[in-house]
């Protein structure tokens, strides 16, 4: 029995030694690749997408650790982790206005503004990948698909499928009413009202009772730059009934 046990240990030890050797070889291959194509990754967002997709296909996460080979040699890590910091800062700065919901477009614009003239340009795909990594910090980061783009959630508010589907409905005009929800989604009044009240409470929706017809629930996250003004936290509070 003891002999079999020993054998088992030896087998694993062998394989570990083999892996260690292969790792060294791989590291050399990666170094060679980096010396030729590191710039490509830095400058070409399509290449970054291709790279990420291929990694995902084979079961490798190049962004898992700053200590990983990919990060150390290709520099992909620093690019995305820094972007993560910038995303967190933008979301925090705008939270008083939009309750922690922001369109990917607006986030993109604001991040670019913050990065300044001499920084590397980033694509929307880059932002999404950085956000996916941020989720693990337990801060409520989420990505909600709406009408061809995405809403980015940056607060730990619970947004279930009912909330998401109402957000998607609101995306077309920037606001939604109870009757619209009832007719599009075939819900009862109470269900629609519950969802809207939750969004109001979280500060993600603002109520306009002066509209003709049904009261309108607006999403500040969907106001485009053309139609909104800078608003202070105090003004935001006064706007809520």
Partner 1 sequence: MDRFVWSSGLLELEETLVIQQRGVRVYDGEEKVRFDSGVLLLSTHRLIWRDQKNHERCIAIPLSQIVFIEEQAAGIGKSAKIVVHLHPASSNKEPGPFQSSKYSYIKLSFKEHGQIEFYRRLSEEITQRRWENMPAAQTMQVNKSAQAGRIRAVGIVGIERKLEEKRKETDKNISEAFEDLSKLMDKAKEMVELSKSIANKIKEKQGDITEDETVRFKSYLLSMGIANPVTRETYGSGTHYHMQLAKQLAGILVTPLEERGGIMSLTEVYCLVNRARGLELLSPEDLVNACKMLESLKLPIRLRIFDSGVMVIELQSHNEEEMVASALETVSEKGSLTADEFAKLVGMSVLLAKERLLLAEKMGHLCRDDSVEGLRFYPNLFMTQS
Of positions 161, 186, 190, 225, contacts partner 1 by CB under 8 A: 225
Least distance from partner 1 to the Cβ atom of residue 59, Å:
5
CB of 181 to partner 1, least distance (A): 16
- Considering only 30, 128, 231, 239, the residue that binds partner 1 (CB under 8 A) is 30
Say how many residues touch partner 1, by CB under 8 A: 86
Binders of partner 1 among residues 152 to 171 (CB under 8 A) are: 155-156
Q: Annotate the chain with DSSP letters as a single string.
A: -HHHHHHHHHHHHHHHHHHHHHHHHHHHHHHHHHHHHHHHHHH-HHHHHHHHHHHHHHT--TTS-TTSHIIIII-HHHHHHHHHHHHHHHHHHHHHHHTTEEEHHHHHHHHHHHH-TTSPP--HHHHHHHHHHHGGGSS--EEEEETTEEEEE-S-----HHHHHHHHHHTTTSEE-HHHHHHHH---HHHHHHHHHHHHHTTS-EEETTSSSS-EEE-GGG--TTT-----HHHHHHH--
Comparison of 15 and 183: residue with beta carbon closer to partner 1: 15
Identify residues 106-135 at the interface with partner 1 (CB under 8 A). Answer: 108-109, 112-113, 115, 117, 119, 121-124, 133-135
Within positions 62 to 81, which residues make up the interface with partner 1, using CB under 8 A?
62-72, 77-78, 81
State yes or no: residue 58 binds partner 1 (CB under 8 A). yes
């Amino acid at each position: 029995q003891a002999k079999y046990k020993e054998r088992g240990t030896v087998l694993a030890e062998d394989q570990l030694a083999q892996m260690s050797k292969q790792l060294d070889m791989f590291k050399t291959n990666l170094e060679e690749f980096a010396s030729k194509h590191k710039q490509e990754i830095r400058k070409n967002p399509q290449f970054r997408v291709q790279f990420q997709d291929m990694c995902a296909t084979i079961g490798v996460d190049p962004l898992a650790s700053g200590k990983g080979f990919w990060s150390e040699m290709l520099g992909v890590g620093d690019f995305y982790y820094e972007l993560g910091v910038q995303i967190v800062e933008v979301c925090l700065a705008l939270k008083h206005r939009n309750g922690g919901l922001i369109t990917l477009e607006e986030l993109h614009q604001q991040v670019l503004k913050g990065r300044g003239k001499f920084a590397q340009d980033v694509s929307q795909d880059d932002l999404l990948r950085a956000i996916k990594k941020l989720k693990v910090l337990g801060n409520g980061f989420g990505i909600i698909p709406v009408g061809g783009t995405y809403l980015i959630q940056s607060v730990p508010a619970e947004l279930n499928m009912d909330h998401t589907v109402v957000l998607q409905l609101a995306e077309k005009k920037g606001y939604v009413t109870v009757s619209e929800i009832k007719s599009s989604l075939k819900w009862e009044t109470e269900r629609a009202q519950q969802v809207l009240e939750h969004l109001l409470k979280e500060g993600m929706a603002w109520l306009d009772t002066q509209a003709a017809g049904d009261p309108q629930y607006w999403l500040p996250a969907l106001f485009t730059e053309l139609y909104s003004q800078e608003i202070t936290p105090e003004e935001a509070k006064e706007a809520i009934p």
